[in-house]
Structure formats: C-alpha cells, structure tokens
Structure 1
Amino acid sequence: MKKISVLVLIGILLFSCKPYQNTEVRKNQITYEGFRADQRLYPTDDGLIKYIDRGKGPAIVLLHGVPTSGWLYRKMIDPLVANGYRVIVPDMLGYGSSDSPEGFEIYNAENHAKRLLQLMEALGEDTWTHVMHDAGGLWTWELMKQAPEKIENLIVLNTIIYEAGFYPPVRMKPGGLAKTAMWGYRNGVTTNTLLKNLFDQGLKENTLNQLDVEGYKTPLLEGKTNAMYYFFSQTCNDLPDYSDVFENIDIPVSVIWGIHDTMLQWPPQQTRAANALKVNSEDIHFIDEKHFLQETKAKEITYKIVNFLTKED
C-alpha cells in the first residue's frame, strides 16, 4: 500500500503540475529546436558556450539569469536586428545549450564574467551595449569590475543590484538536501513544479504554452543544474557587494523594470540604486509585469531600448 502511495505521489508530481496554461501554438512561434539550430559554439577552458549571433551593426548583448538562458530573449532578437544591431545572446556556462561541467567555483561571478569577456573578444567586439536580467546583473557587475571600458550603454531589466529588494524563490545550504533538489529538477520528478512555481510567481498571468516552456524545461532534463546549485546554495546566501563598481559607472544607463516583480523589487532600493547607477529619471521605465517581462512585453522593451540608444547616438 505504501509503495502504491509513493507511485501515486510521483505521478501527481510528474503529470498534474503542468508549467504551462494552454496548448494553443501561436502563429510563427519560435521552437526551441529552431532556436538551438541557430546557435553557434565557443570553446572556453571550462566548457563549450552556445550563443546566438545575428545581424550587423553596433553590438548588443542580451544576458539571461537563473535558471533561464538566452531563450528568454527569443522574441527580442529579430526586432533588434531589424533596427540595425548585431545581437549576441549567450547561454552562460551551465545553462541552456552550453556545457554543464562538474565544479562549484567554476560558476562564480568572476568566472562567468571572464568567459563572457573571452567570447566577446573572439567575436571581435571591443565595446557593446549590454542588457541584463536577474543574476545576469551580478555577472555584469563583475565584468565591469574586470573590464570597465567594455560596456558603453547599460540596460537594467529586473536584475540583482542590492540585497534590499532581493527575494529569491529558493535559498539552499550547500550539501545533500540541495543536491537532492537538483536531482529532482533534472530527473523530471520536480521539474514541472519548479517551472510552474517560477512562472506563476514571475508572470502576472501565466499564458505560456508547451513550446514556450520547452526552452526552459529541456536544459534541466539534460542535467543543467550545476550552475543552479552554485547560485541557490552560495550566491543567494552571500550576495556580493559591487558598490565599488557602481561608484565608477560613467556610461548611459536605462532601467526597464517589471514593477510587480516579487522576486526582485525596485521600491526597496529605488533611491539607492538610481543614485548608484547615475540613471536619469526619464530613463527609468516601469512595465506592467512581474519578473519575466521579456515573455509578455518583448515589443515594449525593444522599443524602449532602441529609443534609448537612438537618443544617446
């Protein structure tokens, strides 16, 4: 009887907690298979990094966070290319289509920044416009610490700046329990539960369909949890302080923030963050969405980015 109950519980976890709300496919919807087919690869000393490189013109990097990948920006790539930009969208090591080697400190902010700098050098881009989201902010602050001259325009999308306003959905201690959680995510036991909770909390209305979710779920089922383990068990418990980096920021900055975000909140840090980033009030935009604003507000975000960059030219 006990065995049957366990099987029933597993069945519920596997099949009843779907992370998407509908099965209707949108016209010309991007598939994860198609997205991956367009990715190129760059070999680092730590493993292969996959990335999108499309268009010609001034370079824009679109940097994801945790536990997403470049897939998060899929709806923004073509519109930015159409506006005359070279759009570079990496899957950071441990995420998306990139390798997920064993290791712990290999996934710290310093190493993420180092590999991104190497990628951009290999692509022949000395400076670029930089868009980041979520934990991508930490990797960006570290990049600016290592090479402050590389980013010429900065667009901040619901990213980690200060401890104030940072309310991650998961915090874990390193060890067995956290590793067990990662095992569940990559073996299909709690994968749907993780994604459903993430999107229910991260979107005002979870209207994602099965094709949308495939781009987030597939990497997990392929075993891409080592970088997540580092973030949830280390970074979330010991957030780096990049105040020294903020003091030296001297580039145009725009903030585009989903104002209903519960995981990364702007109000608790708004005065401190705006002053630290030296962002003009007219370049702070609040979007009617929660955390994953790229999913529902891609056109609006793209318009604001292009408008900001055009104004700066």
Structure 2
Amino acid sequence: MIMSTTQHINSSVSDLAFEGNYVEIDGIRLHYVDEGSGPPILMVHGQPTWSYLYRKMIPPLVAAGYRCVVPDLMGFGLSDKPTDESAYSLQRHVELITGLVEKLKLQSITIVGQDWGGPIGLRYAIKHQDNIHALVILNTLVRTPPSDLRTMHMRIMIKVLFQNGAFSSFLIRRLDLFRRMMYRIGFKMSSDPQVMKQYRMPHPTAASRAGVAAFPKMLPLSTAHPNAQYINEIEETLAKWDVPVQVMFSDKDMVFQVKEGQRIASMVPNGRFQVVRNAGHYLQEDAGEEIAESMVTFLRDAAEVS
C-alpha cells in the first residue's frame, strides 16, 4: 500500500514557506520545492526530516541567482509513503532522485546532502560525474563503518533499538521513538512549537512511518552489511575526483564529529572545510542563512576556476 499525503495529513500545509510541485517517478509521487532560476542546486534531506529543513537556505541562494530544487524523499514530507518497509532501500532512494533529475532536466548540478541525504545525493553524483558542478557535504557519512558516531553507546543503541527487526519497527512506528529522540537532540537552537509542528506533520500515524523505520536498518555498522560497499564507493570515488567540494560540519552535532568533516575535506583533491558553530545535527535549521552565505562564496569561487 502507498499512502499519499492527503490520505493521512489533516493539518493545513498552507503556511509552508514555498509552493509545492509534484512529479511521478516509477509509480511514486514525489513532492519537491523548485524556486529561482539559474544554476541548479539539488538539496537532499535525511532522516526523519523533509524539504522544510532547507527553507532558511532557499531565499539567500535564490537571491544570489541560483535555482533551488528540494525534494521530499519517498516516505517523507509530502511525498508518497509506501507502508511496507521492504519498499525502501538506499538504492531505491537514489533511483528516485535520479529520476527527478532526469524529469526536470537538471544540468551541471550542485548537490547538497545532509544525514542520509549525503549518501543518496553523493551516490547520484559519483555515477553522473559529467552532470556535477560542485558538492556540499553537511553532517553525513561517506564511508562505513561510520567510525565517528559519537560513542560506542550510540552504536549499541542503534543496533539494539533500531536494527532489531519487529521490535525496532514497533518502537519507531508505534511509539514514534526515533523521531522523538532525533528532534530532541538534533536541534541546538530551535524550540518554536510551530516549527516543530511542521517537522512532525508528515508522519502522524504508524502506517506513515515505514520510511522512518527503514532508514536505521540501512546503516552499515560493519563491513558485512549489504550497504557497506555501496557507501564505501562514495569515498573511494571522491578521493580521486577533482570536483569542488565544500564540507561543513557543526560543532554541536550529537551524531558526527567535526574531525570527520575535516577528514573528508582533506581526503578530496579540491575540498574546503568550515565548522558551523552553535548548530546541532540539523544544522540547516540552526544556521541555514550562514550555510547559504558560505555556499554562495564557494560556488562563485568554483565558477571562476571551472
């Protein structure tokens, strides 16, 4: 079964920041924001957020002359939500993002990825290098096992609570434990009830949370995991690719450490690094305008040398 947004969301979305657009790809209706004109920037969110996370970055980027395309992944935001967890895989998310790029005929793209949006966007990038202008990497992973997860306790928690079959599905879907936990620890600055209401809005029922439950099971905590090599290929390719890369990691992230961002930036041939201060895991919420301003400088520099 596939749930459309109108089947499970009763609250008004009229107060969202931008007009929504829809495209059908391989039987899935994806929602996306498309603002501005000029060189395209494709911004990919992660878990358990949606395009709303990028709303502070869009206006300054549009004002600087860029086109911002911000999709909701399948199972998130206002996109269709298959209710069977088996419908979700890292490869499936990449296929749908690839389909979106092709439908919109996006060329010479800058890809921005955070959390799971990192591997998803970067997998598209490494397989379509001729269509990539630059990369912006925010609080994410490009290798496995992700040795920079904050502590061994977090690894154990992920394994026991969120990669444990039906038990994990019950915690995430019925009790909404994962979203409640991440929204508690993921934001450093935001406590506005209306803002948090918008983040919670897309997943009001257990049936709507299949995509949320599926993502933790995709995380390779060892090289034996089916996704291990799929993610490792990202780092292997980036290490040999001279595409301009800006890496920004935040200093208050409870998941990834700043030193991993520094490592990524030093590993790529054409990378630069910036610490985003006083921002949590979802740094777009805490410091969206600052990130956009840094991106404008980075992209103008990249255009001068291309």
Q: What are the equivalent positions in structure 2 for 1:7-22 lying under 5 Å apart? A: none
Judged with a 3 Å threshold, the aligned counterparts in structure 2 of structure 1 residues 37 and 275 are, in CA distance, closer, same or farther, namely closer
What do residues 123-166 of structure 1 show as CA deviations (whole Å, max 9, x unaligned)?
A: 12122111110011111232124322222110111112231213
Retained in 1: the 8 A contact 2:252–2:281?
yes
Instruction: Tell me, in whole angstroms, the C-alpha distance in 2 between the residues paired with 1:33 and 1:170.
Output: 36
2:38 aligns with one of 30, 33, 57: 57
Partner of 2:275: 286
Give the deviation of 1:52 after TM superposition: 0.3
Retained in 2: the 8 A contact 1:138–1:160?
yes
Secondary structure in 1 aligned to 2:238? helix
Retained in 2: the 8 A contact 1:53–1:87?
yes
Retained in 2: the 8 A contact 1:156–1:256?
yes
Partner of 2:19: 38
2:237 aligns with one of 245, 258, 261: 245
Secondary structure in 2 aligned to 1:62? strand
Q: Runs ≥4 in structure 1, deviation > 6 angstroms?
A: none
Instruction: Tell me, in whole angstroms, the C-alpha distance in 2 between the residues paired with 1:224 and 1:305.
Output: 34
Q: What are the equivalent positions in structure 2 for 1:1-313 lying under 5 Å apart? A: 32-35=13-16, 38-104=19-85, 106-162=87-143, 163-167=146-150, 170-171=158-159, 172-184=162-174, 190-191=175-176, 194-205=178-189, 207-222=190-205, 223-237=207-221, 238=225, 239=228, 240-242=231-233, 243-267=235-259, 269-270=260-261, 272-280=263-271, 283-288=272-277, 289-313=279-303
Instruction: Tell me, in whole angstroms, the C-alpha distance in 1 between the residues paired with 2:26 and 2:258.
Output: 37
In our comparison, the structure showing a higher alpha carbon Rg is: 1
TM norm structure 1:
0.79
What do residues 223-279 of structure 1 show as CA deviations (whole Å, max 9, x unaligned)?
A: 432222221123254343223322342210001111221201232x35642333234
Does 223-232 or 61-70 show the bigger shift?
223-232
Secondary structure in 1 aligned to 2:55? helix
Partner of 2:8: none
Retained in 2: the 8 A contact 1:62–1:89?
yes
Instruction: Tell me, in whole angstroms, the C-alpha distance in 2 between the residues paired with 1:263 and 1:210.
Output: 24
Give the deviation of 1:306 after TM superposition: 0.4
Give the deviation of 1:103 after TM superposition: 4.1
Output the amino acid matched with 1:202. Answer: G
Secondary structure in 1 aligned to 2:16? helix
Give the deviation of 1:204 after TM superposition: 3.0
Instruction: Tell me, in whole angstroms, the C-alpha distance in 2 between the residues paired with 1:74 and 1:224.
Output: 23
Retained in 1: the 8 A contact 2:21–2:32?
yes
Identity over the aligned pairs, expressed in percent? 26
What do residues 60-96 of structure 1 show as CA deviations (whole Å, max 9, x unaligned)?
A: 1111001111110011112211111111000011111
Instruction: Tell me, in whole angstroms, the C-alpha distance in 1 between the residues paired with 2:256 and 2:68.
Output: 26
Secondary structure in 2 aligned to 1:161? coil
TM norm structure 2:
0.81
Judged with a 3 Å threshold, the aligned counterparts in structure 2 of structure 1 residues 72 and 101 are, in CA distance, closer, same or farther, namely same
Retained in 2: the 8 A contact 1:202–1:262?
yes
Instruction: Tell me, in whole angstroms, the C-alpha distance in 1 between the residues paired with 2:293 and 2:124.
Output: 26
The answer for unaligned runs of 5 or more in structure 1 is 1-30, 185-189
Does 118-127 or 141-150 show the bigger shift?
141-150
Judged with a 3 Å threshold, the aligned counterparts in structure 2 of structure 1 residues 194 and 118 are, in CA distance, closer, same or farther, namely closer
Secondary structure in 2 aligned to 1:212? helix
Judged with a 3 Å threshold, the aligned counterparts in structure 2 of structure 1 residues 79 and 270 are, in CA distance, closer, same or farther, namely closer
Instruction: Tell me, in whole angstroms, the C-alpha distance in 2 between the residues paired with 1:204 and 1:211.
Output: 16
Give the deviation of 1:107 after TM superposition: 2.3
